[in-house]
A and B are shown apart, each in its own frame.
Chain A
Amino acid sequence: MSTIRILVGTKKGAFILTADGKRQNWEVSGPHFAGWEMYHLKGSPVDPNRIYASQTSGWFGQIIQRSDDGGKTWNTPGSSPEELKSPDGMMPKGESNKFVYEGEVGTHKFYDGSQHPWEFKRVWHVEPSLADPDTAFAGVEDAALFKTTDGGKTWKELPGLRGAKGNLWQPGAGGMGLHTILLDPTNANRIYVAISAAGAFRTDDGGKTWKPINRGLKSNYELPDPDAEVGHCIHRIALHPSRPDVLFMQKHWDVLRTDNAGEQWSEVSGNLPSDFGFPIEVHAHEPETIYVVPIKSDSEHYPPDGKLRVYRSKSGGNEWEALTKGLPQKDCYVNVLRDAMCVDSLEPCGVYFGTTGGQVYGSADGGNSWNAIVRDLPAVYSVEVQTLP
């Protein structure tokens, strides 16, 4: 029987939740890296025991951790006992946490509209390659994309991205983070990224050059020009691997889709009670089935009416149904952050999300019913799931 492993990043450490394919009885391991902010953990699709983690602190900066045994043990890449016993006796310097922008650092727009120099703060998201466990991408704040090809020992920026009108990007309320990295499974040269508050971008040459793909987005209250080419506060984009030209987006306000790799977006918010929110996910086996968690507003980051409801559309948007069974339907004022929702690949599809109140909810039936896998973790930043044979 398959095993499900959920990697949970929280404000005060990481947790690993495991269950068999029935997804009823869960074991909780953690906290790993207790007391540190764990922004994101994700396993390699090629080698699921290879897991990358972003560990960060306002005091001590960024650390990259790597596990090669499914999360049982961890090392900062390049400093494991084996690697320290190199034949030449040289001690490797700690470079796995070194994120240095390429070339002239330049400036971006600040909260007040003035120009402000780029400053590295943390890694928001690590996206392992679909083909090579030693290759991964890191989305960072201030927004940029970095790549490692040596298992996380060293990281190098793909600077072409910031060339896509980076001087017009600006931080959202949570900072100017590159939070979404989508790799096209049919075309290794095509990558999508999303940045708050800059927009969505696409490369078709492996990351050398990038173009903004924000046509159709409207930001009436966030930008002086609602149709600007860049500057939109995108919260998340998602795709189904069978149709990588179709993307779904949860923007600051509005849920949208594109059917042509981002050349044109159209709104599909339909009958949602609020089209503000953070995560968006696609069902593992039904490319037109998508999930969002409506949040009341950008000023009130909690569910409308105190009811925690996942909304599912089976038509790729516009027509939405509330999924409430097993979720609190009164007095619930948590948020669900952008990296805190995911799906497994079992049949029926499992759906998982974590809240700022420390609950991780799971559904083993595509969202029809939910259970709290764990209730009292620190605020959940990210949830990723691995479906293991």
Chain B
Amino acid sequence: MIRVELPFHLRNLARVDSEVQLEVASPVTVRSLLDALEDRYPVLCGTIRDHDTLKRRPFVRFFVCKEDWSLEPPETPLPEAVVRGAEPFLIVGAMAGG
């Protein structure tokens, strides 16, 4: 199971209390993970990436195994630790506004 941590406002929007667990077919990439997340929680469509272009929203970042994956190509396979659920995939609102 893939573990996904959402930021506070998206947890509220999706009505989940804690991290989300998803089944994602291999190979697991940022794109396939987000596809699965949006399939499970349609209300999140458009909040993390653009509806049509699927481009990440500018003030959303992705953290993986203590590294910033925001600028990684979406087809890049995620690390094994994320795939087997040892580490979560973090979706984070960019630090902005003081």
Per the 8 Å Cβ criterion, residues 25-47 of A in contact with B are 33-36
Given A59-B57, A100-B52, are A94 and B43 also a contact pair (CB < 8 Å)?
yes
Q: List 28 A-B contacts (CB under 8 A).
A: A33-B12, A35-B8, A36-B9, A57-B9, A58-B96, A59-B9, A59-B57, A59-B60, A60-B9, A60-B48, A60-B57, A61-B46, A61-B57, A62-B46, A63-B43, A63-B47, A76-B43, A78-B42, A79-B42, A93-B45, A94-B38, A94-B43, A94-B44, A95-B45, A97-B45, A97-B47, A98-B45, A100-B52
Q: Which residues of the other chain, A, contact B48 by a CB distance below 8 angstroms? A: 60
B23 within 8 A of A: no
Among residues of A, the one whose C-beta sits closest to the C-beta of B8 is A35
Given A94-B44, A94-B45, A97-B47, are A63 and B13 also a contact pair (CB < 8 Å)?
yes
B51 within 8 A of A: yes
Q: CA of A36 to CA of B43 in the docked complex: distance in angstroms? A: 15
Whole-angstrom distance from the CB of A49 to the nearest CB of chain B?
A: 22
Whole-angstrom distance from the CB of B92 to the nearest CB of chain A?
A: 10
Per the 8 Å Cβ criterion, residues 50-68 of B in contact with A are 51-52, 57, 59-60
Number of residues in A with C-beta < 8 Å to the partner? 22
Q: Which residues of the other chain, B, contact A270 by a CB distance below 8 angstroms? A: none
Whole-angstrom distance from the CB of A140 to the nearest CB of chain B?
A: 14
Whole-angstrom distance from the CB of A146 to the nearest CB of chain B?
A: 14
B74 within 8 A of A: no
Per the 8 Å Cβ criterion, residues 1-57 of B in contact with A are 7-10, 12-13, 38-39, 42-48, 51-52, 57
Q: Which residues of the other chain, B, contact A94 by a CB distance below 8 angstroms? A: 38, 42-46
B77 within 8 A of A: no
Given A60-B93, A63-B13, are A98 and B51 also a contact pair (CB < 8 Å)?
yes
Among residues of A, the one whose C-beta sits closest to the C-beta of B10 is A60
The digit string for A271-312, where 1 denotes a CB below 8 A from any CB of B, is 000000000000000000000000000000000000000000
B86 within 8 A of A: no
Q: Which residues of the other chain, B, contact A100 by a CB distance below 8 angstroms? A: 51-52
Q: Which residues of the other chain, B, contact A62 by a CB distance below 8 angstroms? A: 46
B81 within 8 A of A: no
Given A57-B9, A60-B57, A97-B46, are A91 and B94 also a contact pair (CB < 8 Å)?
no
Given A59-B60, A98-B51, are A79 and B43 also a contact pair (CB < 8 Å)?
yes
Q: Which residues of the other chain, A, contact B43 by a CB distance below 8 angstroms? A: 63, 76, 79, 94
Q: Which residues of the other chain, A, contact B60 by a CB distance below 8 angstroms? A: 59-60
Give the 4 A-B CB pairs with smallest separation, nearest first. A94-B45, A94-B42, A60-B47, A59-B59
Q: CA of A90 to CA of B57 in the docked complex: distance in angstroms? A: 27
Among residues of B, the one whose C-beta sits closest to the C-beta of A60 is B47
Q: CA of A79 to CA of B94 in the docked complex: distance in angstroms? A: 27
Whole-angstrom distance from the CB of A151 to the nearest CB of chain B?
A: 15
Q: CA of A34 to CA of B11 in the docked complex: distance in angstroms? A: 12
Contact among B39, B42, B59 for A58, CB-based, below 8 A: B59
